[in-house]
A and B are shown apart, each in its own frame.
Chain A
Amino acid sequence: MLSRPAPAPRFFPRGLRWLGAALLSLVAAGAAPDFEREVQPLLAAHCLKCHGPEKQKGGYRVDVKAIALTGGEGSAPNLLPGNAAGSPLFRYVSGADPDLRMPPAGEPPLAPAEVAVLRAWIDAGAPWPDHASATLADPLDWWSLKPVTRVTPPPGAPHPVDAFIRARLATAGLRPAAPADRRTLIRRLSFDLTGLPPSPEEIAAFVADPAPDAYARLVDRLLASPRHGERWARHWLDVVHYGDTHGYDKDKPRPNAWPYRDYVIRAFNADKPYARFVQEQIAGDVLFPDSPEAVEALGFIAAGPWDFIGHAEVPETKIDGKLARHLDRDNMVANAIGTFASATVHCAQCHQHKFDPIPQEDYYRLQAVFAALDRTDRPYHRDPAVHARARRLEAERAENVAALVALEAPWRAAAGPALAALDRSLTEASVRTPNVRRGYHSATAATADTVKWVQVDLGASVEIDRIWLLPASDPFNGIGDGFGFPVRFKVEVSDDPEFRTGVKLAWIRYDVTFMADFPNPGLTPFSTGGGKDDGLAGRHVRVTATRLAPRKDDYIFALAELKVTDRAGNNVALGKPVTAVDSIESGERWAKANLTDGLAPSGPGAEEKAALSARREELLLAAADAAGRERRAALLAAAERLGSEVAALPKPDLVYAGGIHRGTGTFTGTGASGGKPRPIHLLARGQVTHPGRLVVPGALSALTFTPAIFDLPADAPEGERRAALARWLTDPRHPFTWRSIVNRVWQYHFGRGLVETPDDFGRNGGQPSHPELLDWLAAEFRDGGGSLKALHRLIVTSETYRQASAGDPAGAAIDAGNGLLWRQNRRRLEAEAVRDAVLAASGRLDLAMGGPGWRDFVVERPEHSPHYVYAKADPEDPATFRRSIYRFIVRSQTQPWMTALDCADPSMRVDRRSESLSPLQALALLNNGFILTQARHFAARVTAEAPDLAGQVARAHALAVGRAPSAPEAARLGEFARVHGLPALCRVLLNLNEFLFID
């Protein structure tokens, strides 16, 4: 077990409780009770169990003076010397606080005499001799908090890695294993650097290569392969918990998540310096505004799951909405700090970190860094030239606006309050109430050309003047105004509720709405009617949609309100019964009855706005001279030109990333405030219902290389907060960042990190097995420009990496777990590597790179909660023959076959894959459609590549495990293939331990 600070000595006499008349009289006399004799025993008797060395509920303990006097998260400080009545501790134990009583229910309360002692002691200034306090181990005395120090490698081996490892082996009396043979080595290295097996030809060439630099060239070749980025991106995506759906309820797809995945692959292939890689993922948009990649990198912030319902159906004003957003930021913080700094700051959400020097405030400061953000589709231009042009136009637009504002300023001043009043009226005219009691919503249809109707029964035949269709508004899928407004429709009136007889068409605009596509009207009401002369009359008014509005992979018909006005202008449809071919009847939002409830979102009156604008123009220009007017006209013309140039830009690409969300309806984000960060409060016990003081953005206060609170003006744009965090994380003096990444890389090459807990460098995590080596690697990596490829090369060229994995009783007797690396570790391939290796063996691997993920499931019921049905996918679909890194990753319905092979769970951060074995895993490898299909392709391949069965069997064996079968093996395999066929044999080969493990 790791050495951890010893618990504070228990020094209170337990259970001592004394009270009595004598004491009461003492208290009454005003003498300060003696702390050690009178106060400490009662604290020990009543409080210590939960607030002492064993537990520190609420981060509070009564045995350590400093904590007792100043600590206790929600209510700190708990003791106000000289003021018992105001001290939370006293209020709790005396019953003065109605919400919290201590000791808790079930424990005996303090006797009145004890309460009196406490009161007298606090009122007397809470005198507490220093010697009567337990002491704590210095929380800052921990390896990971100390600066990275570069140690000279010990002598004894030319390769620095070996030097450190061997020095440690020697002290333990261990000897390194023999070098692995070349066949083993190329298989190990190929999987490690590219995630794919070497071909038999590559193996043969390497085994036969006499050149002294054969291995070095192999390393270079594999590092230069595009497959390298694909392999290491998968490791990275484990850590950041990337997925292609949101997770939670209604697990919706994220069609634009993949650009981040591709960014990671490109970054690794291009060997992007690590500091830049980190900075781009936290604040690429701010720090590298000219780079489209730096926008894609922000997919990091949005990589984890997202509670769609908690955001899209519950507003931020509600407790559940606050909770959802709090948990969303929590995920961003945990991802950023866990990934880059290997710190478990998320443990300080409810109370001070129990093991590490991370106060709650640090955690909320980090929440403040992300306070303006949501997970959202961010527009950008993948083409750097277009990206640059868009940015230039944006800048010109800003200049144009600024010039206009400056020009108008004196005129504005001259126009005075009248102009301000006009501006207000104009604003009001533009403001509308969104989605008021939404209206009627048909059931969804799979095709646009499904006919849907809704009708209102006016109760009696009525002379109709006009019929009004008021569009609905709903933020769903970003649609907003005009939600569900049909593309083609007709309006009819009849006395027959079935509309079989006496049907009259409301003819105005018939050609516009029924014969041609009607453009979405936004919130502008549509009206039609018979006109005064035509005498349109009837009891039932029916609107029939013949081409539905697109929603999201489906089609609907929705309206906020159907008004029918008579000649006096009264709405005779108000409150009248509504029938429809179908209706979703969803809660109070969408119901047939809402079609005639008199409520609809109102849009600005266009005419009113135009009149107001004209008056404003007149007033504003009253003080302008001719030159000024001319200049203004020129600026406005330039604005128009810029506007059309912007409009002419190609449609922006989208990446699902951390960003300012500009939403309507319930999920508004911070867009409306221009991306102003939400205020972040310290939450007592992590409860959104208990906000405490406001916090400012910052990072971990235990690290003192730079101030923990970011040096930013209060009104700095939100991006500056992220930029500050990015700079903090990549500071060369940072004790976590550089160790964190070299440890992760080490782990993927050896199956275990130098620190066994890559996500936790705190006291609850591991300590480095080779601290000097870890620091040397961290310093070497940092000072060498953060080249990951150089780091790989350094590690895999060591003899430590290249040694054999075979066990040895002598070594096992000393270090059975191989913590000191006296041999290489035999590793089972991860789910993706198994799958890719199967495709490599079958010859069907499609190496196409990038783009939207391939899908090995069928989506059912996409309209509400998509069901991702893997069993219905066709294992012969060649689209699925691509590398596993490009798989579309669903959170709520993880791929069962991959999951059986311990694939990373995209709903949680995975710093190290587990390696389980179970009968279900055996069944998955034997019987899954993927294996059985590929075994057949595998057989077909070897049939084509070798002339006879013996050759085919040998070829299959070599493709699967990288060596020719021995003579007895060949005989046994051949016999099986003769009886049961080559596909059955190939299936067996894909189930071999030798296939699944790398020596």
Chain B
Amino acid sequence: MTNDSPYHRLAPAAPPTRREFLWSSGGGLGGLALAAMLGRDRALAAPAAGAPAPRAKRVVQFFMAGAASHLDLFDYKPELVKRDGQPSDFGEPVEAFQNGLGPWLRPLWDFRPHGGCGKLLSEVVAPLGEVVDELAFVHNMTGKSGVHSAATLLQATGFQLPGFPGAGSWVSYGLGSLNDNLPTFVVLPDHRGFPSNGVKNWDAAFLPAQHSGTLVYPDAEAPIADLHPHRAGGYVTSAGEADAHRLLAELNRGHAATREGDQRLDARIRTYELAARMQLAAPEALDLKAEPEHVLRLYGLDRGPQTWPKEINAAEETWHFGRKCLAARRLLERGVRFVQVWSGNDNSFPRRNWDSHEDVRRDHGPLALGMARGAAAFIQDLRQRGLLEDTLILWTTEFGRMPSTQGGKGRDHNPFVFTNWLCGGGIRGGITRGESDAFGYKPLDRANPTTVYDIHATLLHQLGLDHTRLTFRHNGIDRRLTDVHGRVLRELLA
């Protein structure tokens, strides 16, 4: 069988990308290696015939780690209100993650209609009502595993095993950078730590390393690793720094002059120039203090950091999530291609993620309100800047939660159905496509659920990439973000 993907056409054999090929060949190819390093050459050198016209230039992915309950936030189920407290009956044996499913449990908050579309939203995500006419809901998402690690990897990378590139890495590989002075793919982790699998959700895996998500901590002293000299380098002075760069360039140029034709050597010289520029560009991009009062107010950030209570609380969640959203907007505005924003860290105690086995109200309440305030402000902010049109937003989580209790006040994992919503970037707002059943237990049409492959296919489509052609050969397989699946969800498109 031939591999006729245009992504492979230029490569003699694996490693198959043109970019890698250029590295290893190391000479005689003009400035291509340099361009490749800068990420300016799209993996697809010239758009293939039939490639979709891009509607979006950049992506934001909100990821709720621990599994956010569709039932208590976005997917209203009157049947559960009616049957609250009655013994649950799923009509079939259910293998729950922790066993022992209890009675039906009504949504923990009331739902009210919002916007022109009248979408019912839970009180705890009511701030999203401001922008609900921009959102397209998919309530029939289905996963493959009820285990956090595998399920998180599936939503983040399209595979249940570690060792596959994050969606942002694929986008970086496919489209390259919009701004050489900032990373292409930025990850804003929860301030409390990483989700399940840690960096495996966003690293480049077998793609070249420059496509890894770059961790950015907007509020940290060192927002990007090694952006500035470590404290061990007290001997580094700002005057010395400029001289050091000059000396380094000079010596490296001398070295390269006697080794003609090796583009890597020149490219590496250039990385130091870019590094110096990033040292200026990144702090500027992350300087949230530069935002005017009304913007800070929009995000709920006008009252400054405080000392927070020990218990999980909405004010603290709003602060942290809002900061990430605002940082995301500033980064996107400056040409970052893909920003991934995490809410919630790994599975730890006390709960600081969405894995509400014990108490949905206690944990989902503050997390959801903080998320909704930040996300709503972010969408409004993009809209008023004209950025929403070509910025695709995806809200996701690893799976849903069960419509029954698991004995107490919590809900167990529900890998069978959960909710995503999308927004901006050519998505049609104010719609719901794909329903869950009356209890929010499984998709209404069990034979035709929506999967992460469909979401990713749609995301790439909006960026002008055909998900079946964005491939990279690794260990014998032309790997894709969408594996061998995926359907562009045209019903969601404007």
Residue from the set A894, A923, A987 with the largest chain B CB neighbour count within 10 Å:
A923
- Residue pair A828, B251 in contact (C-beta under 8 Å): no
Q: What are the residues of chain B within 8 A of A888 when measuring CB–CB? A: none
Residue from the set B28, B98, B200 with the largest chain A CB neighbour count within 10 Å:
B200
Q: Select from chain A the residue with minimum beta-carbon distance to B193.
A: A867
- Residue pair A7, B274 in contact (C-beta under 8 Å): no
Q: Does A591 contact B (CB under 8 A)?
A: yes
Using A4-B2, A105-B448, A936-B232 as known contacts, say yes or no to A249 and B147 having CB atoms under 8 A apart.
yes
- Residue pair B14, A765 in contact (C-beta under 8 Å): yes
Q: Does B313 contact A (CB under 8 A)?
A: no
A996 to B408, CA, bound (A): 59
Q: Does A751 contact B (CB under 8 A)?
A: yes
Q: Does A251 contact B (CB under 8 A)?
A: yes
- Residue pair A7, B193 in contact (C-beta under 8 Å): no
A864 to chain B, nearest CB (A): 4
Q: What are the residues of chain B within 8 A of A402 when measuring CB–CB? A: none
Q: Does B81 contact A (CB under 8 A)?
A: no
Of the candidate stretches A493-501, A601-609, A732-740, A912-920, the one touching chain B is: A912-920
Using A585-B358, A586-B349, A587-B98 as known contacts, say yes or no to A247 and B13 having CB atoms under 8 A apart.
no
Of the candidate stretches A366-374, A463-471, A927-935, the one touching chain B is: A927-935
- Residue pair A344, B209 in contact (C-beta under 8 Å): no
Give chain A interface residues in 814-851, CB to chain B under 8 Å.
816-819, 825-826, 828
Give chain A interface residues in 972-999, CB to chain B under 8 Å.
972-973, 976, 979-981, 983-984, 987-988, 991-994, 996-997, 999
A922 to B237, CA, bound (A): 18
Give chain B interface residues in 466-492, CB to chain A under 8 Å.
473, 475-478
- Residue pair B226, A897 in contact (C-beta under 8 Å): yes
Interchain Cβ contacts within 8 Å, total number: 354
Using A756-B14, A916-B208, A924-B225 as known contacts, say yes or no to A807 and B259 having CB atoms under 8 A apart.
yes
A314 to B208, CA, bound (A): 35
Cross-interface CB contact of B24 among A318, A751, A764, A905, cutoff 8 Å: A751
Using A7-B1, A919-B275, A987-B244 as known contacts, say yes or no to A584 and B232 having CB atoms under 8 A apart.
no
Cross-interface CB contact of B250 among A759, A825, A972, A987, cutoff 8 Å: A972
Of the candidate stretches A123-131, A302-310, A409-417, A690-698, the one touching chain B is: A302-310
Cross-interface CB contact of A917 among B198, B226, B254, B268, cutoff 8 Å: B268
- Residue pair A991, B259 in contact (C-beta under 8 Å): no
Q: Does A279 contact B (CB under 8 A)?
A: no
Residue from the set A584, A763, A816, A973 with the largest chain B CB neighbour count within 10 Å:
A816
- Residue pair B235, A983 in contact (C-beta under 8 Å): yes
A907 to chain B, nearest CB (A): 4
Give chain B interface residues in 142-174, CB to chain A under 8 Å.
144-150, 152, 160-163
- Residue pair B347, A907 in contact (C-beta under 8 Å): no
- Residue pair A912, B147 in contact (C-beta under 8 Å): no
Q: What are the residues of chain A within 8 A of B384 when measuring CB–CB? A: none
Please encode chain A, from 6 to 43, with 1 for each CB lying within 8 Å of some chain B CB and 0 for all others: 11000000000000000000000000000000000000
Q: What are the residues of chain B within 8 A of A334 when measuring CB–CB? A: 475
- Residue pair A926, B226 in contact (C-beta under 8 Å): yes
Give chain B interface residues in 275-319, CB to chain A under 8 Å.
275, 277-279
Q: Does A766 contact B (CB under 8 A)?
A: yes
Q: Select from chain B the residue with minimum beta-carbon distance to A585.
A: B358
Q: What are the residues of chain A within 8 A of B386 when measuring CB–CB? A: none
Q: Does B256 contact A (CB under 8 A)?
A: yes
- Residue pair A816, B27 in contact (C-beta under 8 Å): yes
Residue from the set A7, A817, A935, A981 with the largest chain B CB neighbour count within 10 Å:
A817
B97 to chain A, nearest CB (A): 7
Q: What are the residues of chain A within 8 A of B271 when measuring CB–CB? A: 917-919, 921-922
- Residue pair A875, B210 in contact (C-beta under 8 Å): no
Q: What are the residues of chain A within 8 A of B277 when measuring CB–CB? A: 919
Of the candidate stretches A172-180, A320-328, A517-525, the one touching chain B is: A320-328
Residue from the set A1, A896, A983 with the largest chain B CB neighbour count within 10 Å:
A1
Q: Does B240 contact A (CB under 8 A)?
A: yes
Q: Select from chain B the residue with minimum beta-carbon distance to A308.
A: B149
Using A4-B1, A816-B27 as known contacts, say yes or no to A344 and B477 having CB atoms under 8 A apart.
yes
- Residue pair B199, A892 in contact (C-beta under 8 Å): yes
Q: Does B35 contact A (CB under 8 A)?
A: no
Q: What are the residues of chain B within 8 A of A786 when measuring CB–CB? A: none
Q: What are the residues of chain A within 8 A of B248 when measuring CB–CB? A: 988, 991-992
Cross-interface CB contact of A864 among B215, B269, B348, cutoff 8 Å: B348
Please encode chain B, from 158 to 201, with 1 for each CB lying within 8 Å of some chain A CB and 0 for all others: 00111100000000000000001001000000000110111110
A766 to chain B, nearest CB (A): 4
Give chain A interface residues in 738-755, CB to chain B under 8 Å.
751-752
Cross-interface CB contact of B100 among A313, A588, A762, A806, cutoff 8 Å: A588
A476 to chain B, nearest CB (A): 14
- Residue pair A756, B13 in contact (C-beta under 8 Å): yes
Q: Does A757 contact B (CB under 8 A)?
A: yes
Give chain A interface residues in 750-798, CB to chain B under 8 Å.
751-752, 756-757, 759-760, 762-767
Q: What are the residues of chain A within 8 A of B97 when measuring CB–CB? A: 313-314, 320
A902 to B478, CA, bound (A): 21
Q: Select from chain B the residue with minimum beta-carbon distance to A902.
A: B209
- Residue pair B475, A247 in contact (C-beta under 8 Å): no
Give chain B interface residues in 223-246, CB to chain A under 8 Å.
224-233, 235-237, 239-240, 243-244
Please encode chain A, from 879 to 914, with 1 for each CB lying within 8 Å of some chain B CB and 0 for all others: 000000000000111101101101001011101101
Q: Does A510 contact B (CB under 8 A)?
A: no
Interface residues on B, range: 35 or more
- Residue pair A309, B214 in contact (C-beta under 8 Å): no
Q: Select from chain A the residue with minimum beta-carbon distance to B11.
A: A1
Q: What are the residues of chain A within 8 A of B21 when measuring CB–CB? A: 817
Q: Does B420 contact A (CB under 8 A)?
A: no
Q: Does B120 contact A (CB under 8 A)?
A: no
A751 to B98, CA, bound (A): 50
Give chain B interface residues in 79-131, CB to chain A under 8 Å.
95, 97-100
Using A309-B148, A899-B203 as known contacts, say yes or no to A812 and B348 having CB atoms under 8 A apart.
no
Q: Does A267 contact B (CB under 8 A)?
A: no
Q: Does B433 contact A (CB under 8 A)?
A: no
Give chain A interface residues in 588-608, CB to chain B under 8 Å.
588-589, 591
B403 to chain A, nearest CB (A): 17
A589 to B99, CA, bound (A): 10
B57 to chain A, nearest CB (A): 21
A491 to B103, CA, bound (A): 37
A897 to B347, CA, bound (A): 26
- Residue pair A926, B229 in contact (C-beta under 8 Å): yes
A residues with CB within 8 A of B: 1-2, 4-7, 105, 247-251, 305, 307, 309-310, 313-314, 318-320, 323-324, 327, 331, 334, 338, 344, 346-347, 354-356, 443, 584-589, 591, 751-752, 756-757, 759-760, 762-767, 806-807, 809, 812, 816-819, 825-826, 828, 861, 864-865, 867, 871, 875-876, 891-894, 896-897, 899-900, 902, 905, 907-909, 911-912, 914-924, 926-929, 932-933, 935-936, 969, 972-973, 976, 979-981, 983-984, 987-988, 991-994, 996-997, 999
Known: A864-B349, A914-B206. 15 other contacts (CB 8 A): A313-B147, A334-B475, A347-B476, A355-B476, A587-B412, A765-B13, A807-B26, A816-B29, A861-B193, A871-B225, A876-B232, A916-B208, A926-B272, A936-B235, A999-B259
Cross-chain pairs A/B with CB under 8 angstroms, 13 sampled: A248-B197, A250-B196, A355-B1, A587-B358, A588-B98, A751-B24, A757-B14, A812-B261, A819-B12, A900-B209, A907-B162, A919-B274, A928-B230
B residues with CB within 8 A of A: 1-3, 8, 12-15, 20-21, 23-29, 37, 95, 97-100, 144-150, 152, 160-163, 180, 183, 193-194, 196-200, 203, 205-206, 208-210, 212, 214-215, 222, 224-233, 235-237, 239-240, 243-244, 247-248, 250-252, 254-256, 259-262, 264-265, 267-269, 271-272, 274-275, 277-279, 345-349, 357-358, 406-408, 410, 412, 415, 447-448, 473, 475-478
Across chains A and B, which 8 residue pairs bring their CB atoms closest together, nearest first? A344-B476, A892-B198, A908-B163, A932-B233, A249-B149, A929-B230, A248-B149, A907-B162
